Chains A and B, each alone.
Chain A
Amino acid sequence: MIAFVLAAAGVAAHAVALARFTVEYGQLPLNGLAPSLSTVALIVGLGLVATLGLGEGRRVGIVLVPVVILLEVVAVSLGLEPAAEMLDFEGTWFAFHVTLAFAGLGGLAVAFASGLLYLVQLHELNTKRMGRLFQFTPPLATLDRLGRTSLVAGFTTFTLALLLGWLWTISFRQSFDQSNPKVLWAIMCWLIFVAALGVRAGDGVKERRSALASVVGFSLIVVSYLGLRLVSSQGGFFL
């Protein structure tokens, strides 16, 4: 109960801060890396509150709280201001599209954290140790369930975000630029979701495969994003 109240209070404070951002800059915190990360942190925080409300307890918090804190620390250290470049599109459809995409990426971030802890706990169990790391890390079954749920939820919202973006583009622009780095990066993210879920099929230790796929997949997304930003800093604008 205390954890739920504290998490809810933290998320409420975060939401108020982002609302103030919206009022101050006249736009939603969806443009630029720092505001985007802060929004993802808010979405993951909402997931934490919902999970605690459903009674999953502090085991899940051990994974989600560090994810939220890390995202917010990076966002704040980058400077919470909107990007100087204006977005191509704006409006309700766009806000909906971006929020869904962020929810999807938030889900993958949670799957990454659970996957990482799953691999750590698996290592502890296989090396027959019961040290502090073993005590601290949640059970394998909990981590697997959290990772799977996050992946399914993330995949669903991210797919919806892509469909919405595609529909909006072809409806209002009558053309779809398939070579746009944003489009290519989004498709890569979606394929990573598919792969992380796909490895659960078949025989063998599907939990371990899924954890590994989530860790590798999310790392690939982060590395490719940073790479594209680096390239675009010399040329055009990328997210």
Chain B
Amino acid sequence: MSVVGVSHLTAPVEIRERFAFAPSEAELALGGLRFRSEVQEAVLLSTCNRTEIYVCPGGSQHVQKAAQRVLSEKAGEVVGGTGQYLYRHDGMASVRHLYRVAGGLDSLVLGEAEIQGQVKEAYARAGRSPDTPPLAGPILHRLFQSALAAGGRIRSTTPIGEGAASVASVAVGLARKIFGGLEGRQVMILGAGPTAELVVEALGRDGIRGLVVSNRTYERARELASRLSGHAVRFDEMSFELAKTDILIASTAAPHPLVTRDGFRRAREGSQRGPLLILDLAIPRDVEPEVGSEANVFLYNVGHLHEIMDDNLLKRRSSVPEAEAIVEEYARDFLHWYGARGVVPVIRSLRGRWDDLRRGELERLWQRLSHLSSDDRDLVETFSKQLLNKLLHDPTERLKGGAENGRGVEFIDAVRYLHDLETVEPETSEGWEPGHEEEVKGNEMDVPLADDE
């Protein structure tokens, strides 16, 4: 199999967004890809940080180019061409890549959890596509199931997803640790910066009593308030609103603090003085540091939030070697399965090829020994079968053994080359249905060496 894609590691956001597929577009594109090439199975993963096409069978230049063409057609004209932003992985490298993606090891924010759901959704969409057979056949089914299991284990057994790793998630974590739930809380945004908007979106609107936006330019405040289903207030009404606020998010571009200690005391005088969380996301700061020493005020500026994020990211990074080991373990398991799966048709083909030779030679022999009785012919035929079985016994056993210890792919390639079996067709996904996935069982590789054995 192969993967061709673009991600945050190879392209900036303005390029990545051009490669992004809507779910309905993905199905059409993959259907077209299968129609135009020898691709049998395909899954398209499209998130805000990556767009990737996993195809099976991979390996050939033609398949990779066909997948690349699907992405390039979506992106359209790009200065310098789309090729400069794309990466390609083949065989085991593509398997490892998917496991790393599902485990959050390849994410913009190391260990982020959303990617697991996105991988699952991409695979599920390909599995339930109206195409027959489904876009995700037996090999990609196994690969994606295994990748999701690897991702799940990485998250449950390593601290890779622990601790908030973005300003918005740190803010949410703080709010939850102060207020428990956000039900009935009043939120105020000071300024109309994009980070404040992100934080409000992360906090979620469920249960929040009210959202107020205040900005020097009232029109911008109204614009943001309408986007966030809140209401705008004029800048001079900010103090009045502050008295009722539980969470204040400040992100103006003002050159001096807008919330001073004296102003804050005046605003909060006579109010219930419940806890107040202030997230000062502005540089220079919007809130005087002295406000943080007021009773029941929890003031966090950009520096504090980044310190928390850096601490968390450090902990996440320390778990990377452990996560990589899990990726390797799952990749090895997949390789075993894949190798074992490929061995069966090769053994059949090997047996068929040598049996054809045997039959051909016997035909020639019967012409020269036409005087032989029927019993004698049977004797010779049995001898030829037994000889063939003995000759093929060791290579077959070694091939099966290789598949079991992870060298199946390597051995299959060698056998196909040495015995000129290059034309052996790989197993297709024709007639395959999700849920009827075969397990690698002992008797699966017990291909009889002779019909009458």
Closest residue of B by beta carbon distance from A203: B273
Closest residue of B by beta carbon distance from A132: B162
Min Cβ gap B315→A in Å is 9
* B207 within 8 A of partner (CB): no
Q: Which of A126, A139, A205, A208 contacts B177 (CB 8 A)?
A: A139
* CB <8 Å contact, A141 and B173: no
* CB <8 Å contact, B312 and A130: yes
* A204 within 8 A of partner (CB): yes
* CB <8 Å contact, B177 and A128: no
* CB <8 Å contact, B179 and A130: no
CB interface residues, A 177-221, toward B, < 8 Å: 203-205, 207-208
Closest residue of A by beta carbon distance from B177: A139
Chain B residues within an 8 Å CB radius of A135: 162-163
* Binary B-proximity of A131-157 (CB < 8 A = 1, otherwise 0): 100110111111000000000000000
* CB <8 Å contact, A128 and B304: yes
* CB <8 Å contact, A139 and B180: yes
Min Cβ gap A133→B in Å is 11
Q: Which of B162, B176, B300 contacts A128 (CB 8 A)?
A: B300
Of the four ranges (under 10, 10 to 19, 20 to 34, 35 or more), the interface on chain B belongs to: 20 to 34
On whether A140 and B178 interact (CB within 8 A), knowing A125-B298, A128-B307, the answer reads yes
On whether A140 and B177 interact (CB within 8 A), knowing A130-B164, A205-B295, the answer reads yes
* A55 CA to B140 CA, complexed, in Å: 43
Of the four ranges (under 10, 10 to 19, 20 to 34, 35 or more), the interface on chain A belongs to: 20 to 34
* A121 within 8 A of partner (CB): yes
Min Cβ gap B78→A in Å is 41
* CB <8 Å contact, B180 and A130: no
* CB <8 Å contact, B298 and A130: no
On whether A140 and B275 interact (CB within 8 A), knowing A128-B304, A130-B311, A204-B295, the answer reads yes
On whether A141 and B180 interact (CB within 8 A), knowing A125-B298, A130-B164, A130-B312, the answer reads yes
Closest residue of B by beta carbon distance from A124: B177
Which of A121, A125, A126 is most buried by chain B, counting CB atoms within 10 A of its CB?
A: A125
* A140 CA to B275 CA, complexed, in Å: 9
* CB <8 Å contact, B180 and A129: no
* B250 within 8 A of partner (CB): no
Chain A residues within an 8 Å CB radius of B273: 203-205
* CB <8 Å contact, A125 and B308: no
* B170 within 8 A of partner (CB): yes
* CB <8 Å contact, A130 and B295: no
* CB <8 Å contact, B163 and A130: yes
* A43 CA to B311 CA, complexed, in Å: 42
* CB <8 Å contact, B179 and A125: no
Chain B residues within an 8 Å CB radius of A137: 177
* A231 CA to B371 CA, complexed, in Å: 122
* CB <8 Å contact, B311 and A142: no
* B428 within 8 A of partner (CB): no
Min Cβ gap A141→B in Å is 4
Q: Which of B163, B179, B304, B308 contacts A139 (CB 8 A)?
A: B179
Chain B residues within an 8 Å CB radius of A205: 273, 295-296
* B320 within 8 A of partner (CB): no
CB interface residues, A 79-102, toward B, < 8 Å: none
15 further A-B contacts with Cβ under 8 Å, apart from A139-B176, A141-B275, are A125-B174, A125-B178, A128-B308, A130-B170, A131-B311, A137-B177, A138-B180, A139-B177, A139-B178, A139-B179, A140-B178, A141-B179, A141-B180, A204-B273, A205-B273
Identify the B interface with A (CB < 8 A).
Answer: 162-164, 170, 173-174, 176-180, 273, 275, 295-296, 298, 300, 304, 307-308, 311-312
List 14 interface pairs A-B (beta carbons < 8 Å), by A numbering.
Answer: A59-B180, A121-B177, A125-B177, A125-B178, A129-B311, A130-B164, A130-B173, A135-B162, A137-B177, A139-B180, A141-B179, A203-B273, A207-B275, A208-B296
- Nearest first, the 6 closest Cβ-Cβ pairs linking A and B are A139-B180, A141-B180, A128-B304, A205-B295, A142-B180, A205-B296
